[in-house]
Amino acid sequence: MPAFKVRTYEENIIVEADSIEFCADTIRLMFITNGKVTAGFSRYLWVQEVKAEATAEPEVPVTEEPVSE
């Protein structure tokens, strides 16, 4: 599930939600999870999606087998 950093006038908050919706008529952000609003902000400075860090899989050493003819 994507995470979003929200900077309000008071604090920084991290919100996890499936999607984010901007309501221009009320200048409000709504965070939606499973079709339901889970968080909303009307006084915020900015929002930034937190990118998931790529996890590297451990490399398996490749061993070559001798070819017998």
7 part of a folded domain:
yes
44 part of a folded domain:
yes
CA dist 17 and 24 (Å) reads 20
Residues of the chain with pLDDT under 50: none
Q: Which residue has the tokens 């050493």?
A: 61
Give the range of the structural domain holding residue 23, as residue numbers without chain letter: 3-50
61 part of a folded domain:
no
24 part of a folded domain:
yes
What average pLDDT is seen over the chain?
82
68 part of a folded domain:
no
Q: For residue 40, which of 32, 52, 49 has the smallest C-alpha distance? A: 32
Whole-model pTM over 0.75 = no
Region at 24 (left for phi over 0; alpha for psi -120 to 50; beta for the rest): alpha
pLDDT number for residue 62? 62
Number of domains in the chain: 1
**In degrees, to the nearest 5, what angle opens at C-alpha 49 toward C-alphas 18 and 3?**
45
59 part of a folded domain:
no
19 part of a folded domain:
yes
Q: Is 10 helix (H, G, I), strand (E, B) or coil?
A: coil
